[in-house]
Chain A
Amino acid sequence: MARYQFEPFDYVTPPELSGAASASAPVIIVGAGPIGLAAAIDLATHGVASIVVDDNNVVSVGSRAICWAKRSLEIFDRLGVGERMLEKGVTWKLGRVYRGDREVYNFDLLPEDGHKFPAFINLQQYYVEQFLVERCADFPDLIDVRFKNRVLSVGQDETGVTAEIDTPDGAYTLRGEYLLACDGANSRIRRQFGLDFEGRHFEERFLIADVEMEADFPSERWFWFAPTFHPGQSALLHKQPDNIYRIDLQLGPDADPEEEKKPENVIPRIEKIVGGRPFKLDWVSVYSFNCRRIDRFVHDRVIFVGDSAHVVSPFGARGGNGGMHDVDNLCWKLAGVVTGDAAPGLLESYNDERVHGADENIRNSSWTSRFMSPEPGIEMAFRNAALSLAVDTAFARRVVNAGRLSVPCQLADSPLNGDDAGGPEVPQKVGMVALDAPLSDRDGRPTWLMNQLGGRFVCLVTGDAEAPADLPGGVELVRIGRGGFGDAEGHVQERYGDAVYLVRPDQHVAARWVAPGVDDIRAALARCAATIAA
């Protein structure tokens, strides 16, 4: 199968230095990782222009994010790359947990059908970035990606931001209204601002290897506590596209990274896992992990997004997926502020909602890290007790923590939430991302509910409920049943009942009623947009 070919992106002398007409955009995005690129696309879908600068000129080399969660795929789909990712990625939803060589537990991350996207796909980060860079090119008037443009420092005043940028042709200054710091875990901007990156470092070291081999392993996540092939430590196996497998091996806190990375040490370990199949070592690296975040993500006109704001250990796949939640949450708000439809105060809700989300991710991945590498003594005793019990005692299987994988963040307590005026007892709640369901359009063609939501405020009317005759400006009606889309498999009825929902541009339900008046909807909308221009 054709492997990914790393092709450097072209460096172009920026107009500020070439003498061409100087470009300007309201938003400067620092970092063309998955988060910066996704933010540029999301803003472009709202008609807001950005300049993306990155110090590098290739996609992420080596083994980084592979697991993309259903919610991220829905966001990527809204941005126009979800289907491509799904097609290229390896779909999975089943995780198996072994103790020694015996399975103690397995979990199905999406036990129900009627969703466009699966629980997870595995897809190398370099593909995701490649797809995003290509998608950016669909917005030539709105997205200007500049490689080999390194930000040296950032400043701000009452009316805007400035970034000092270095290039192979020299330095220049960019001015914009807002700046997104998407410059990753070692964020220079975070350091320049003197922001504490508080949290915990885990001493444990992990060897992460990508190996290429022909194998018929199923598309599942396999996690071992103390397998015979790696005594006393844990191991994780994931399948990726192009016949590449990701292997994570816990090494203990005292391992010497340089020593462990040597092929003569790595290869025998992998041979034991793959049981004699021929394989080729693609990438190996030794990591230790942090769970940290900065106190606030919004610093006036400089906003931290993705790894620059928060980092987690990878065992819940919450890093990149958490960053995608940030993008989803921020971009419609920032677009509203830039275009004048919303008050700048709305950005504070990004801070509230995503600090809440980051805490959830940090909590979960810290708990997993602690279960995987307990301190000797009583922590080890509890860990081993749970594992031993799990063999025969059902409840203990759910106590075993081999990773709590990224799930949609619930915003039940968000200040943006409006009414939840009763309504049916259904799975969909206010503050939750909308649940997907298969639909049929007016011509009977199949489509998905998620594809009708997002990008703008939607008044979603399901079943027998009635929307008010005229909706406030800026809200679009989407009706399921009674002359609207068909509820193809009855999932809308089951997930939403008969009700009226206000759905935010990030596909989260902001309010719900049985029979709202136009003022109810206007009030909920005003809450979400701080003050929306009438």
Chain B
Amino acid sequence: MALKTEFNLGTDSDALFNELLQAHEGLSREQSEQLNAGLILIMMNHIGESGIIREAVARARAALDA
């Protein structure tokens, strides 16, 4: 399977994006970093396919230069 790059979040996308922001409310920078790190680890495990995970990392990294 390849990394999905087409939209895949259904009608909840704006709500989910907002919930991500809410999850960080009131956190210090350090806590926020840890929350993000925890989320990434959980999602990485859920995906469970190294090819997809590597592609995701590469794509996110490439986007820094966009």
- Chain A residues at the B interface, C-beta cutoff of 8 Å: 377-378, 381-382, 384-386, 388-389, 393, 395-396, 399
Contact = CB atoms under 8 A, between A and B. Distances in A.
A384 B40 CA distance: 13
Nearest to B33: A381
A381 B36 contact: yes
Nearest to A386: B41
Nearest to B32: A381
22 contacts: A377-B33, A378-B33, A378-B37, A381-B30, A382-B37, A384-B34, A385-B34, A385-B35, A385-B37, A385-B38, A385-B40, A385-B41, A386-B37, A386-B41, A389-B38, A389-B41, A389-B42, A395-B45, A396-B41, A396-B45, A399-B41, A399-B45
Contacts of B40: 382, 385
A367 to B, nearest CB: 15
A409 B40 CA distance: 31
B40 to A, nearest CB: 8
A388 B42 contact: no
Interface residues of B, number: 11
- 4 interchain residue pairs of minimum CB distance: A381-B33, A385-B37, A385-B38, A382-B37
A374 to B, nearest CB: 11
B3 to A, nearest CB: 21
A384 B38 CA distance: 8
- Residues of A contacting B: mostly: helix
Interface in B4-35: 30, 33-35
A381 B42 contact: no
Contact of B42 (A378, A382, A384, A393): A393
Nearest to A377: B33
Interface string B41-61: 110010000000000000000
A382 B41 contact: yes
A489 to B, nearest CB: 35
Nearest to A398: B45
A135 to B, nearest CB: 45
Contacts of B35: 385
Contacts of B38: 385, 388-389
Contacts of A384: 34, 37
A389 B38 CA distance: 7
Contacts of B45: 395-396, 399
Contacts of A382: 37, 40-41
A381 B41 contact: no
A399 B42 CA distance: 11
A533 B25 CA distance: 75
Given A385-B34, A388-B34, A389-B41, 13 more contacts: A377-B33, A378-B37, A381-B30, A381-B33, A382-B40, A384-B34, A384-B37, A386-B37, A389-B38, A395-B45, A396-B41, A399-B41, A399-B45
A385 to B, nearest CB: 4
A395 B41 CA distance: 9
A173 to B, nearest CB: 55
B28 to A, nearest CB: 11
Contacts of B42: 389, 393
A396 B38 CA distance: 9
A131 B38 CA distance: 49
A382 B36 CA distance: 8
Contacts of A389: 38, 41-42
A147 to B, nearest CB: 51
Nearest to B30: A381
A260 B21 CA distance: 45
Contacts of B34: 381, 384-385, 388
A399 B43 CA distance: 13
A90 to B, nearest CB: 35
A202 to B, nearest CB: 22
